[in-house]
Structure formats: structure tokens, C-alpha cells
Amino acid sequence: MNKTSEGAISDQSILEELARILKSPIFAQSDRLARFLRFTIDQAISGNKDALKEYAIGTEVYDRKPPYHPSQDSIVRTEARRLRSKLKEYYETEGQNDPMFIYFRPGSYIPVFRSRDTLDHERPAELFIDLPGVPIAVIPFANLSNSPISESCARGITDELVHELSRTDGCRVIAMSSIAQPGLQVSDIPALAQKLGVQIVFEGTVREEGGRIRVTARIVNADAFQLWSQRFEAEADPASLFKVQEQIASALISRVAPQQSVIRKGKASAGPSILAVYPATLAAEALLDQGTVADVKAALTKFEEVTKTAPGYARPYCGIAQCYYWMALRGTPHSADLASHAKKAALHAMELDPQMIEAHSTLGGALTLEWDWSGAEASFIQALSLGTHAPTYRQYAIYLTALERFDEAWLYLQYAQQIDPFSYRQKVACAKFFFLSRRYDEGLDYVATLVADPALPLEVRLYQALTYIELGRHDDAKNMAQSLLRSVGSQPALRACLAEIFALCGEKSLADKTTAEFNLLSPTAPISKFRQVLLSLALGNLKAALSLLSEAYADKEAEMPWLAVDPRFDSIRKTTRCSEMIRDVRLGISS
């Protein structure tokens, strides 16, 4: 009996499976999809896989006549998406106990045959497919301004992307500059993707305007559907153009690179389920990076939706853990509960993928929130041993800062900075580090490099104002706080910080007004007790501050480790009670 090239599956077994599929209600009413499936399987088992091209299917199955141009007529690509969807539906319902599977990899018209007995249960076919990493193509970025700088930047970013992708675990990159021109039409991408056998295509544009460069990068799948888009801006300075190109390429790769260990090790590529939820996952990660309370909550909702669609995918569980982690460190009440949720999500990600870098680092972050210092460091060290990852470096730096290991913390912040200097979270982490480590002049210099940034996080400005106060520049701090009054909106933690700054600058009436307007010191205020302590200290209410601090300690609030390093606690840090709390936090003890 004949065997297919896929392994020990006979031609007869494949034809029997085809018959089962075509008899199912899902396919019985779809003659065109049945013809598509039958034609491709007949060609595959006859050894004519090379003939399975878009043009051949269009003419043989869909009766397209010359002149037929697949780049202009998308019938085959559209029907291929429908076929993959119907096969998925079949194997989730009527065919769930069939002895084998037939499926198509995205961007390919060659059927794949797999026996149920030989499936790798640790890598479900839905999540992963048998390719050695993700095949990616980079189309030359288009210059939209026709200026020498934007033209040079477009070429440079294209080259840097190819370079960075070739060094990224789990990626196999093809430079399309030899066969694709800048500004390639979307309708042409599927034909090129099929020809090169790629799943993902990078493309984008560069524009120069007002002395600044704007780069818009996109990734699309083999069917030309946009999966993700990101925009970066920088000064149009020829002297720094090389550095900017490297930074943008590095930031892009860090945000979209494979995270699952089986892909990073080149043992598989993303399957239909991952590709289906990939856009939502990247969108959620982008929201999380922006860091506002509303954005993080929206990110959490998206991550949770992804886990319902692809419950075996570890990456969104890391995202859930990160959401809880960042909410806990941004003055959200009941942060001990948030820490528990973060830990649960991180542990689940580890169960799904024990070798995933972010699974270990998110666990390290969650354990930091619970004051489990040894457990947290062990998790971070394990994550660092698995590869480079900007959020891991950043979270480890935050851990080290809390323990006053400032030189080590700065080292890891620099690592993260080199990978993705455009990250909102990175900018906030650097500003916070300079303030907590009392490197005030360096902190102001750092913010000065960001002044032209249209996406400068509000928290960076708040740390700038707090730094002015520590340097005795109260007028500068007050002016900064007043300029931010409208920008912070109704974000309670940021409002509390503004009230604190006004109080420290001697504007007590304005501080009292802001505090009363948002009930920032009420027992039911939507901010942590720890943030209420800082506001009470600024208002000069020492008794209330110490009482609230005891509550924060008893509730094991996630921000309590900052008691040991934040300059705003200098006035009470050496009191017996504060010293005892700092000792207990370092030992992981709560009342």
C-alpha cells in the first residue's frame, strides 16, 4: 500500500478521511470547498505538491480563464481561509475522534496529514505547526516624503529589521528587497508570501515632517490581513540616524517576537490558534505598556478574552499577570489580592510553558509583590538564563531597586533601554529609579532627552516635579503640577500625587481642594493606603500617616517595600515603628 511523504499514513487512509469530511454536514452544503479539498489532496498523494499554486487552483477548481491574475482576483485566498476555518470546525465537532487530521498551514495550499496517535500532545496542532520557527519576510519600507533623510531611514530600518530578525530566536527571515519594491500593494503580498513560504510579513512607511521622523511599521499575515501596527517618532537628525534605525528595529522585534519556548527553540511555528489571537494579544500588550488605569484594565479584558479562545497559549496569561502587577504598583487598593491574581496567572503560564522567559519573570514580579524576596530572585535568575527580554530586565531592576541594590538595578535598566527605549513602562521605570536612588541631576537630564516625545507618560512628569522638590526648586515643581492638572483626568493615584506636590510646595489650599474633591483620604478612596500615607505626610498630618502606614503594612500592600528607599519617607524612616516595618518587609513578614 502506498505511503505518503508525511510518514506512515497510507493514501487509502487519507482518502477514507477525505470521504468522512465530505459527508459531514459542514462540507455537504459547500461544493466549492469540497472541490478545493479534493483537488489539493489528489495532487498531494499523486506527488504533485509543486503544482499546488494559487494560479493552478484558480483555474482547475474555480474555473478562472485567462487572463487570470491572482494578485487582482483573491478568490483562492478567500476560499483557503474558509477551508481552514471549516476544517477546524469539523475537527472540533463531528471529526473530533477521527483517526487522523487534515489541515493547511496559513499561506500554503499543500494539505498536511497527521495521525492522531502520533500527535505531540504537548504541542497541540491548533497552537503549533511543524516548521522550524516562524518564517518571516521584510518588504522594503516606503519613503512617503521623498526626502534624503526619510529615504535613508526607510532603507536603514529595512536592513536593521532583517539583521535583528536573523538574530532572534524562533524567527527565520527572508529579505524581499530583491523581488519586492517599496510600497508593495497589499494585494500582491499573498502571492509573494506563498512563493517564499512565509507566515508573517513586515512592511511600513517613513515620513519626515517638522524636523521629526515618523515610522509606521505593520505586520500582516500571509493572506495580507493586518495583524499589528506601531508608530515611532524621533528627531530627523542625520548624525543620530543610524542609532534611531537600530532602536526602532530592536523595539519592533522585542514587541512581536515569539515568546513560546517551542517556537523560540526552532522546534515549531505558530499554528492557526496562535495566529488567530495574535493581533488581540499584541493589542493588549500595547495597552498594558501605555500604563494608564483605563488602558491596563482594557488590556486585562483583552488578555482574558484571548485565554478563552486559546486556553493552551501561555503568552496571554503572562499578560494577565503583568496587568495585576502594574496595577498593584500604581496605587490600586487591595494590592495583596492583585498580587495573588498575578501569581496565579504566572504559575499557569509556567504550567503551559515551563521554559518561557516571561512566565518566570512575571512570577518573579508577583513574588516581589508578596515580599518573597528569595523566591522572586530565583525566578528572575531563571528567566535571565533563558534569554534576553526587555520586560524581564525592567522587572528585575524594580526588584533590585526595592532592595537598594541600585548599581545592579541600573545595569538591568540599561539592558532594557537598549532593547526598547520607546516603551512607556521603560520611561516610567527609569524616572522612578532616578528619584528613588536619589540621582536627581541624572533624572532631570534623562527627562530632558524626552521633552520632544509626544508620548511622554504623565508619571515621568510627576517624578520630575518630585525631583524639583528634593532639589528645593518648589516653583518649578508647582508649575509642573499645575500644567498636569487637566492631563491626569480622574486617575486617583495621579491626583493624589498632584495634591502631594502642591502640599510640599506650600500650596496647602490647592492640595486640600484636590484631596477633598476626589475624597483621596476617605476610608473608601480608590487608592492604596500607602498612597494615602504619602499624601498625609505632605499635608503634615503625621498621626494619620502613621496610622495609615500600619494599615498598609497589615494589609501587606505591594508598595510597602518603597518605604525603605523613597525620599518622601525620610522624616519618619528612622522611627522605631518604621524601622520594624522595613525589617519585616525585607523578611517577608506581616502582622
Q: Are 166 and 173 in contact (CB under 8 A)?
A: yes
Q: What is the pLDDT of residue 179?
A: 54
Rounded Cα gap, residues 282 and 288, in angstroms: 10
Instruction: Kindly report whether the peptide bond that precedes residue 67 is cis, defined as omega within 30 degrees of 0.
Output: yes
Check residue 79 and give its pLDDT: 87
Q: Counting Cβ atoms within 10 Å, is residue 198 exposed (0-12), middle (13-18) or buried (19+)?
A: buried
Classify strands 128-129 and 269-270 as parallel, antiparallel or unpaired. Answer: antiparallel
Q: What does the pLDDT read at residue 144?
A: 92
- pLDDT at position 17: 93
269-270 and 212-221 beta bridge pairing: unpaired
Q: From CA 119, how far away is CA 106, in angstroms rounded?
A: 19
Question: Comparing C-alpha atoms, which of 108, 90, 109, 110 is closest to residue 100?
Answer: 90
Architecture of domain 134-258: 3-Layer(aba) Sandwich (3.40)
Per-residue model confidence as pLDDT tens for the chain (591 residues)? 344 444 468 889 999 999 999 999 888 888 889 999 999 999 989 888 877 888 889 888 888 888 887 767 878 888 888 888 888 888 878 888 888 888 887 667 888 888 766 544 444 447 888 889 999 989 889 999 988 999 999 999 999 999 999 999 999 998 665 555 555 555 567 777 777 788 898 989 999 988 899 999 999 888 778 888 999 988 888 888 899 999 999 999 999 999 999 999 998 899 888 988 999 999 999 999 987 888 999 999 999 999 998 999 999 999 999 999 999 999 999 999 999 999 999 999 999 999 999 999 999 999 999 999 999 999 999 999 999 999 999 999 999 999 999 999 999 999 999 999 999 999 999 999 999 999 999 999 999 988 777 678 999 999 999 999 999 999 999 999 999 988 888 789 999 999 999 999 999 999 999 999 999 999 999 999 999 999 999 999 999 999 999 999 999 999 999 999 999 999 999 999 999 999 999 998 765
Task: Say what the pLDDT of residue 387 is.
Answer: 94
Q: Which of 89, 78, 90, 100 is nearest to 32 (CA)?
A: 78
Cα radius of gyration (the chain): 28
Residues in the chain: 591
**pTM value?**
0.79
Measured distance CA(460)–CA(507) in Å, rounded? 21
Question: Cell numbers 497510507 correspond to what residue?
Answer: 10
Encoded amino acid at 120, one letter: D
Q: Tell me the DSSP string of 92-146.
A: HTTTTT-SEEEEE-TT--SEEEEEGGG--TTS-TTTEESSSSEEEEEPPPEESS-
Cβ-contact 346, 563 below 8 angstroms: no
Q: What is the 3-state secondary structure (H, E, C) of 488-532?
A: CCCCHHHHHHHHHHHHHCCCHHHHHHHHHHCCCCCCCCCCCHHHH
Domain locations in the chain as residue ranges: 11-128, 134-258
Side chain identity, residue 543: K
- DSSP classification of residue 575: S
> How far is the C-alpha of 518 from the C-alpha of 527, rounded, in Å?
11
- 207 to 58, 150, 158, 248, 253: CA distances (angstroms): 38, 6, 14, 14, 21
The grid coordinates listed for 179 are 523581488
Angle at which helix 492-504 crosses helix 529-538, to 10 degrees, equals 20
End-to-end CA distance of the chain: 74
How many angstroms separate the CA atoms of 108 and 369, rounded? 46
